[in-house]
Structure formats: structure tokens, C-alpha cells
Structure 1
């Protein structure tokens, strides 16, 4: 089969879905561009700062993308390209699109508060506390994993380290000129993008070589500062400029597929049961994750993005649109695995994982319009590392928000633990401790935990919509499906770990059982809230 068909079908489906289903959601939910958003009603110059739609789209897309929509689809390719592609298209539109846009919308209607706060209003304080604790612990794991990944990347590819540091300096200058000196966005963007590629060139010319542990410490200091710095000075402009790297990577990959139109070598379907608990249901839906739906997106949308929405009309392009663009990225990812196939795919995976497969594939595609293979591969790898860093500092800011909300007793008085500096230090220190020791032991459960977050976010959306007198069935069907995926995945994980050796896997088993219990408790709370109406 020609890979050109896959990229064409996915883009056409996403464009139609954006114009029809996305608009229908806006109508049913009552999105109102005349209604003031929290960015205006609660402006504080630090977290609540109105952002123009293109800038906020860049931040949101950069934060939710990372390596997720690349690693997930390539990892799920063991089931064949057809199940992965079907889930990417259907999932991105009817599951991830609703989840992301709904989480953003619900948060905007709750003064920019997190999904946990939305659950608190809709389902009670017990539901809020359980969700917030779970989300915060999950973010600690994300911080630990991404700190380790970024430090490893900077150690292995010193040029990426130099470029990333220069990106930050460029972002600060961009933010200062646009937000404090009134420079035009268009001209500033053109100059910023040019300088962005200059940073890449300087990184290659002057690589910065430091040890892994030194990079971990530097990164922990950086994310602590980034968590409390005003969004206009670093987060907004850095993510906006970085998004052009991803747009360039997407465009280069898509053009390469059109010109090269490689033939798919991977079987359409390999097996529904690969053994050792690897069943197509639920593992496909846990593994693809960001390529179709990811709970982490709800934390980004309700944590940072909702505090910067300038107008409710931007919710569609930022919430629904970003998920569909990510679906295109996931499509490119599965194509890079599917056109290689066989022993070469296994060789690339063993040599550098899914990122190596994707970078090699896009590097190959880009040779079709004259770009040297090594240049295309290096550029792709650098873009991915830039987004891993974006996801890292966004996760830290989200951890700070959720920690503050979790310990807020509602009295209106700030306690030591709701202070943003204290919340940041606790989050970063614990995340850092997990980075140096422990995160790898519990990482295998992250996929299930992440999809449980998605199920809970969808549940909170369904309850919020019903209590608001709006159409809510577009959220209930995905909710039921994602809970089924999570519960079955956790049961399989518990069974396989017990049979593999209870004592050796005691930590994973305990966490999995706890997550399973949390699922049932919150399902009961959600059903109760829906029935109360």
C-alpha cells in the first residue's frame, strides 16, 4: 500500500472534522466570544495573561506534543499499521478532540482552575482530592522521566544542549519585545524563526558537553524558575517559537511522503494477541496515548492554557485543533515505522528507540527534496528534544498549580503550602529525587495512569455539561470506553506481575491495585453526580 494514501486520508478526515464536529461542539456547549475569560477577569501578569491565538496555540501544541505522539504509535505498530491508523483518526476526533477541547472549556468556565477543581464543583471535595493527589503524583513521575530524558539527550548530543539554552534566551528577548515594547507579532515572528535556526547552527558549531548529573541539576533549577516566572517572559514566547520547529518538521515530513510516497512494508494486522498480556484491547489504546487521547493534555489545557485564553472563540482552534495536528504527527510516526518494517525496524528500535525510527524515517523522506539524510535526521531529533524540554517545564508549572489547589482549604487565606514558591520547591525536589532514583521502577504503569487521567477528565466534563444543562453524550461514550481500557489494562498488569514474581514486582502491583481502586471510587462518584441531576 502507498503511504501517501494514509497521510491524505488522515488530513482530509481531520479538516472535515474540524469544520463540522468541532463547530457542532462549540454550538452545543455554548461557546461565547463575548464572555470575558479568566485571562481578563483574573489578570495577574504571572499566570493569568491573555495571549493571541497563534501564540497560545504554539504553547499548547508544544506542551502536549513532546515525544508522545511519536513513541506511542511506533510502539503500537507491533499490532500492525491498520489498527493504529484507525485509532489515530477516530481517537483524535471523537476522543482526544472532545477530551482536550472539553477540559479547556470547562476550566475556562471555572476561572482557569484545573480538572481537579472542576471535579470538586461537579462531584464534591472527595472526588477533587482523590483526582488532585493522583494527578500530582503522576506529574512527579513525568518530571522525573523527562528530566532524565532531557539530561541524557544533552549528554549524548551536546549541540542540542547549546541550542536549547540559546532558545531560552531568544524567547526572553521575544517576550520582552512583544509584550513590553509593543513589537508587531508578525515581524517579530519572522525574525524569531530566523534566529531560531541560527541557534540550531550555533549549537552545532559550539556543543556544550557536561555530565548527566550536572545536566539534571541544571534542569531542576531551570524548571523551578520557569514554574514561577511570568508566562509572557518565557513560557508563551518559547513555546510559540519552538512550535515552528514542529511545524517545519511536520511540513518537511509530509512533503517528503508526497514526493517519495514510500510503500508500506509492515503488515496491516499482525495479531490480536502477542502474548504476555499484550492484547490488542486494551494495549493498543494505552500505548498510542498522545497520538489519539492522553490525560496529560487535560492537565495542560486546564492548567496553563485556560489561564491565557483571550477569547472563548479560541477554544476550538487551540483545544480541538491542536489534537488534530497531533494526529497528523502520529500518522507520520506510524508511516516511518510501517514503510521500514521487518528486521530494519527492529534494528533501529534497538539502536535508539522510537525517536531513532522517526528521525531516520523523516530524514529519509526529506532527501526527496534535496536535504541530506543526516541533516534531516539531526533536525528531527533536535526538534523532538526541544519539545521534551517544553513538556518538562509545563509539567512542573502544572504540578505547582495542582499542589496549591490540593491544599487550598477554601478559606481564602494563603497557607505556607499554597504559596507558589513553597509548592514549586516541594514539587521540584520530590521530582528530582525520583529522577536520581526510582522513576524507572514505576514507569511501566505510566501508560495506564495517563489514560486513567483521560477517563477522569472526560467524566468530569460529562458531569459539568449535564449540570450546566448542555448536551453531554459526546463525553459519556468516550468516558465509558476509556474506563474500560484502563480497568482491563490494570487487571492484566496486576495478573502478569503477580505471575512473574510477586515479591519482585510488589511496588508496581500495589500502585496498580491503588489505581484500580481509585477508578471504581471515582466512577461511583461520577454516576452519583449524574443521577443527582
Structure 2
């Protein structure tokens, strides 16, 4: 069965390719990590690797590995292939280097990592890009869970009032989690949430095998729905399914755990392994989309990903199990939204050179950030999601190019990063050229052609200019 084969490939990918990526990077177990060198009791706090793995999984797994794969299921088995191969060869590589380069650079955020490898100009662009993306992520990951919670509490209050109530509650929690030391809330309760998340995914999987064993991918083949609702596979499926395969948002989250890593040898489990676990969640929800609904048309008419989650969990696991599974899906975005705002605070703090050990310093940045976030939460969710999807994959491309440059200057096998960087650069360029609502609305063939040329041009630029030293890069990295 495809699902079992796909899960097996993820496991083998972690054990074999993950080990290979670790070897190419060249870990130094004897080297002191930022958690030990910069321990400040707020953001740099050493924690055990099992706890970091669970926290990393929650940090990176927002609604992306649930909502994205459900939408991507309309494209048929191509969605499964992208989740598996995207996770192993792109997403997990991206997350590993985002985390381990942060470790090597003293816990630096992604704009500084990019700056050390691609130059000051790229650093400033990345700083603006990352800040905007983190704000969008925080907003998306507040409105999406608020919508699911509103469904669970529907009938008790006015629908609009219920939605507003949950948004206020979620933003209040986000604010608290953003300013307190990382080990006070995130370090204590997130491992529990992480375990619940995994149990939820396994529970849905068991429900599929028990109740839908004869319907797995019943309407799918490789020729089905190449253009569902007129939307083509290339480039849209790679934008639609981001967090379940490759996501630039993860590069903003990995440094949070890089500041808490006790030893470099733990990086493969925490960063590469965290992405593989998210890939498994993505596989579960692609499978739900292609199995739970008898036809592709029924999936398109289901009322959106939130409704699919609500209906499928309730039917597969019963009333109580369904509620628990839905709460597990609610936890996903909430535990990514708060760390998105936290990473936003730290990114801004680095840009303006403001220490974050004092609560007042953290508040001076957090308050205006949350005011902007609350204003953005009033914008239509679908509009925010489209901008998030493109900016997310563009950020992934930049982070992968930084990793490729790091390896290239050291005469290491840069292709493990430069090939996925070329691919997702082509996708992001083609998408913004083609997208009729937020992009340039160009012809699909022209957009894809220009995107491929642009991706290859970036690869040529790396090969020609990539070995030039970057003046600001710390020595001994």
C-alpha cells in the first residue's frame, strides 16, 4: 500500500540520507554549543534532545502539514510523492542546515546566517522578509485554530462573537509565551503537546485502516486532476503543500532550538528528524483527503480543510476521539504561532541591537509587533494564506542557497543544498509570475519557463561567485 511504503521511505530517508547530510556538514561533538557558551536563562537554555525534538516538531508544524496536504490531495498521488521526496531531500536538509548553522554562528537567526554566506545585501533583504513572514505566520496560526475552536463551540454563542473570543484568547497566550523565558512555558508543556500531536496522527491513521481499508486512494491515479479547479500541478502543488514537505518558516524556528542544543551530534534527531515527523503528519492528511471522500469533487465541496478535519476526525474516531484529534490539530498552529512571534521579536532585537534579558526590553518590541498582528488578523484569511505560501517558499530558497554557499566555500558537497535550492527557486519565481490574484497573471508556460531559467541562473551565480569570502563571517565556523 502506498501509505505504508511512503512512511517506510521517510524512515529510511532519516536513517540513511539524514546520516549522509550530517556527515557532509561535519559535526563536532567536542565543540561547545551556544546553550553552554551564552546561557542567559531566557533564550539560551540547554534542554535534552528528546524534549527539543518534540518542541521543534510543534514549532514547525503549524496548519501547514494538515491544511496544505488536504488541499494538495486534489492533485492525486503527486501530492504523496512531493511530501516524501520533498521531506527527505529538501525540507529536512533545509531544517538541518538552518539549525546547525545557527549553532555554528552562536545561535544566530536566519537573516544573519544568510548574511554570513550570501553577503550584507542578502542579510537586509532576509531580515525584512523574515519579519514579514513571521507576522503572517502568527496571524494565520491564530485565525485557523480560532476557526476550528469556533466550530467546536458553535451553537453556544453568536458565530462572529465566538470567533472573536477565540482570537482574543489565542493572541493573549501568544503574547505571554513570546516574552517569558523559553523554558517556563515552551520547555515545560510543549513536549506533552508534541506527544499528543503524534498520538493524534497515529489515531487518525489507525481509523483509516480500520474503517477505510478498502477505500485507500480509491479515486486516485497519476492522471487524475492535473488541473483541479483549473489550477495546475506545476507550480501550485509545491506552494500548496509547504510545511509538510519544505517550508522556509522552519528556518526561523530552528535557531530557537539551536540555542538550546547541548551537543552538535543531537542536531540530526532534532532538526532533520523533526521535519521527517512533520512529513509523516503530511502523509496522514493527504491520505485522509484522497481516501475519506469517495470522489475528488466531494473533497472540493467539503467546505475547506477545517471542515475536512472536523468531519473526518469525528467519523473515524467517534465523538470523543474526534474532539481529541481536532484539539491536536488546534495545538499545531497555536504552538507554531507563539514561536513565530517569539522569533519575530528576536529578529527585530538583533536588527536594532537590543538585549532581551530584561522584560522591559522584550515588551518594547513585542507590544508593537502584536498590534500589527491583531490588525492583520482582520484581513481575509485566504488573502493572507496566498501571500504566506509564496513568501514561505521564497524564504526556503534563500536559506538553502545560504547552506549551499557555506558548503561550496569549504569544498564540501554543496549539491545536497543547491539542487533543492534551484528547484524551489524556480517554483517560487513561476508562481509569482503566474498567480492571477497576487502575482503578475502571466501565461503558465511562460511563467514556468522563466522560473526554470531563473533557478538555473541562481545556480550558475553560486558556481561562479560562491567561493568568494564573506567579510563578516565569524572565524573558525
Q: TM-score per shorter chain, which class?
A: 0.7 to 0.9
1:26-79, Cα deviation, whole Å (9 max, x unpaired): 112111222111111110000000111111111110111122111111111222
Distance between the aligned counterparts of 1:240 and 1:347, measured in 2? 37
Q: Could you tell me how far 1:146 is from its partner in structure 2? A: 2.0
2:201/2:281 contact within 8 Å kept: yes
Distance 1:464 1:323 in 2: 21
Confirm or deny that 1:459 pairs with 2:377. Answer: no
Query: Contact 1:38 / 1:112 at 8 angstroms: preserved in 2?
Result: yes
1:385 aligns with 2:330: yes
Matched, 1:312 2:257: no
2:185 paired with 1:240: no
Provide closer, same or farther for how the CA distance between residues 210 and 157 of structure 1 changes in structure 2, counting only shifts above 3 A: farther
Q: Deviation digits for residues 172-193 of structure 1, max 9, x if unmatched?
A: xxxxxxxxxxxxxxxxxxxxxx
Q: In the aligned structure 1, how far is the partner of 2:68 from the partner of 2:45?
A: 33
Q: State which of 236, 250, 254 in structure 2 corresponds to 1:301.
A: 254
Establish whether residue 227 from structure 1 lines up as the match of residue 222 from structure 2. no
User: Which residue number corresponds to residue 475 of structure 2?
Assistant: none
Q: Quick check: 111-120 or 419-428, which moved more?
A: 419-428
**Mapping for residues 384-423 of structure 1, pairs under 5 Å:** 384-408=329-353, 419-423=361-365
Judging changes above 3 Å, is the alpha-carbon distance between structure 1 residues 129 and 330 closer, same or farther for their aligned structure 2 residues? Answer: same
- Equivalents in 2 of 1:94, 1:312: separation in Å? 21
Shift of 1:290: 1.2
* Structure-1 separation of matches of 2:438 and 2:226: 17
Distance 2:465 2:362 in 1: 32
Q: Deviation per CA, 1:418-467: give whole Å up to 9, x if none.
A: 94322212211111111134665443222111111111110111112223
Whether the 8 Å contact between 1:123 and 1:529 is mirrored in structure 2 is no
CA 339–439 in structure 1, closer or farther in 2 if over 3 Å, else same = closer
User: What is the aligned partner in structure 2 of residue 109 from structure 1?
Assistant: 104
The answer to whether structure 1 residue 217 and structure 2 residue 168 are counterparts is yes
What corresponds to 1:142 in structure 2?
137
Task: Give the equivalent residue in structure 2 for 1:129.
Answer: 124
Query: In the alignment, is residue 267 of structure 1 matched against residue 220 of structure 2?
Result: yes
2:6 counterpart residue number? 10
Which of 82, 87, 99 is equivalent to 2:82? 87
Task: Show CA shifts across 1:320-370 (max 9, x none).
Answer: 111111121111111111113345x6556655522332454354444xxxx
Query: Is the contact made by 2:432 and 2:440 (CA closer than 8 Å) also made in structure 1?
Result: no
Does structure 1 conserve the Cα–Cα contact (< 8 Å) formed by 2:387 and 2:438? no
Listed one character per residue, the Cα deviations across residues 198-243 of structure 1 (whole Å, up to 9, x for unaligned) are xxxxxxxxxxx97433443343333222112011110112211101
Secondary structure in 2 aligned to 1:453? helix
**How many Å separate the matches in 1 of 2:127 and 2:116?**
13
Residues 148/357 of structure 1: CA separation in 2 closer, same or farther (3 Å cut): closer
| Count of residues in Structure 1 that have an aligned counterpart in Structure 2 | 451
Please name the residue that 1:479 is paired with. Answer: 421
2:284 to 325, 329, 332: 332
Q: Which moved more, 1:252-261 or 1:54-63?
A: 252-261
- Unaligned residue ranges in structure 1 (runs of 5+): 160-208, 367-372, 501-514
Looking at structure 2, the residues matched to 431 and 519 of structure 1 have their Cα atoms a distance apart, in angstroms, of 33
- Return the offset for 1:274: 4.2
Alignment partners' CA distance in 1, 2:355 and 2:341: 24
Q: By how many angstroms is 1:471 displaced? A: 2.5
Q: Deviations over 1:466-492 (max 9, x none)?
A: 234432210000000000000001110
Cα shift at 1:528? 6.5
Question: In the TM superposition, what are the counterparts of 1:277-288 in structure 2 within 5 Å?
Answer: 278-288=231-241
Q: Cα RMSD over matched residues?
A: 3.1
Using structure 1 for the length normalisation, give the TM-score: 0.77
